[in-house]
Amino acid sequence: MNIYLILLEGNLIGYFIMVESSPLVDNQKRIMSRQSLGLLSAGTMERMLTIVGGGLSGSEAAWQAAERGICVNLYEMRPGKNTGAHESADLAELVCSNSLGSNLVDRASGLLKEELRLLNSLLIKCADQVAIPAGGALAVDRKEFSEVVTETIELHPNINLIRQEVEEIPNLPAIIASGPLTSQSLSRAIEIISGSGHLFFFDAIAPIVSFESINLEIAFRGSRYGRGTTEQGDYINCPMDKHQYDELVKALNTAERIKLKEFDRFQEGGRGVIAGMREYFEGCLPVEVLAQRDEKTLAYGPLRPVGLTNPHSGKRPYAVVQLRQDNLAGSMYNMVGFQTNLKFSEQKRIFRMIPGLENADFLRYGQMHRNTFIYSPDLLESTMQFKKKSGLFFAGQITGIEGYAGNIASGLLAGINATRFISGAPLLSFPQETMIGALCHYISNASAADYQPMKANFGILPALQVKSKLNKRQRYTEYAERSLMVMQAYIEEKDILGQSNHKSD
């Protein structure tokens, strides 16, 4: 048996044990927590940060802090304890869609990602690296994405990845980025310090089918209005006439669903799922809930045919089910907008009614899971710091920020501000004219009457000061130009990128 010591700037920060040249524990390696050694100097201990959760926000926060010379203990409970929704032990696994939303800067999600690029976001850089065709959106091979993030985090000299569940609020400074699927033990600990129960809604996952099972004699390749990155088009489109569409809606309305006690009464009313203090959240509705609202809801929603012409007929279909590439090899396709809570047997029966999917091979069925979040307006500052405990930060979907890019942004800000807290510097609040600043301002200042999880959108930005009347696209372009100009000036004023050049060797 050999014991190897790990030193950082002359300080002992950990060790690992090797027997017959094979590391032990955690499948290959065990690096003990720096704090558990009890051998660190006071100076080193003061520059340590604990982060709970290795998802999008936690991984981004860890990297941002580590790049600024902070020693980070990043805790991830998988694979020892799974969530029920994750499929691997990799960090930053994309549980739902493989799309991070629009990449166009005059779209809210695209603007947010452009701001993150200006701020040197690790996860956006990784996403760009493994991007796959998706029209104007940034979609990734989800397996390659999480693998690249995991490798980058594991190789960072200032990050200690610990595969262990955290059941209590850790010693401060710390960031809680445990996500909407936070374990019961940690959820109870958060409820105690927050003084209130969590809010929640239900999120749904769409099915994935194999490419080889799609009938391309019926389905066709194409992107709306020709906005694809490939000549043929980035999506596979399954066209439907009115009769086929009506039959699909009828089947969805009578299909058997998996019972979720808290969800049943919301399904019956067709109003969505509860979120916030009193209202309903519309962002993650199952396809069967949309179908029961009105017979044309899907045709004007996820199945809208605008911008598409069926090359087999030369006409625009009545409705279209779009399939988006889910991996780099192009062997898996995600059913866009078909998040569902139907029984698996019903999914197979009903979704095979869609033209082009009559012999579909389902590699993953859709399913639903509960998403938990805290009431951020009472609990968080726009810096992502917890109001009741100095040195405690929250980040990610647990704060009520929706969307992959939004959660990456909250992790970036929490990581930077935790570093500034440790260094004794004032915490940053990004200007409200920026999309990141507007999102963080919203979750920390929304009123109880209308608070609900929020994605990036232009409606949360301050109004433009323009004299002439602008159409929607011109207005969004103006928003984007203002946001990027304000963000660039703020980065330079606060020397945000300069701080990340102080890495430990």
pLDDT in tens, the chain (505 residues): 455 555 554 444 454 444 343 332 333 333 333 333 333 444 455 689 999 999 999 999 999 999 999 999 999 988 867 666 666 778 889 877 888 889 999 999 999 999 999 999 999 999 999 999 888 889 998 899 999 999 999 999 999 999 999 999 999 999 999 887 788 888 889 888 888 766 666 667 789 899 989 999 999 999 888 776 777 788 999 999 999 999 999 999 999 988 754 443 444 333 334 444 333 345 567 898 889 888 999 999 999 999 999 999 999 999 999 999 987 778 889 999 898 889 989 999 999 999 999 999 998 888 776 667 888 988 999 999 999 899 999 999 899 898 899 999 999 999 999 999 999 999 999 999 999 999 999 899 887 656 677 889 888 898 888 777 888 889 999 999 999 999 999 999 999 998 665 444 4
Q: Which two tokens mark 111?
A: 């603007």
Q: Which two tokens mark 282?
A: 């519309």
Measuring CA to CA, which residue among 366, 363, 362, 359 is closest to residue 216? 359
pTM: 0.71
In the chain, what are the helix, strand and coil shares in percent, each to the nearest 5?
Answer: 35, 20, 45
Cβ atoms of residues 134 and 224 within 8 Å: no
DSSP 25: S
Cβ atoms of residues 502 and 66 within 8 Å: no
Give the Cβ contact number of residue 103 at 10 Å: 21
First to last CA, the chain: 28
Cβ atoms of residues 230 and 131 within 8 Å: no
Domains plus CATH for the chain? 1-46 (no CATH), 47-198+374-462+471-501 (3.50.50.60), 204-371 (2.40.30.260)
> In this predicted model, what pLDDT tens digit does every residue of 199-255 receive, in sequence order?
666 667 789 899 989 999 999 999 888 776 777 788 999 999 999 999 999 999 999
Q: Which two tokens mark 487?
A: 């963000």
Kind and range of the H or E run holding 217: none
Q: For residue 242, give every residue at least 6 positions away whose Cβ sits within 8 Å of its Cβ, in sequence order, or none.
A: 318
- Report the distance separating Cα 270 and Cα 247, nearest Å: 19
For the stretch 217-222, contacts whose Cβ atoms lie closer than 8 Å and that sit 24 or more positions apart, written own/partner, are: 217/312, 218/312, 218/355, 218/356, 219/323, 219/355, 219/356, 219/357, 220/310, 220/311, 220/312, 222/308, 222/309, 222/311
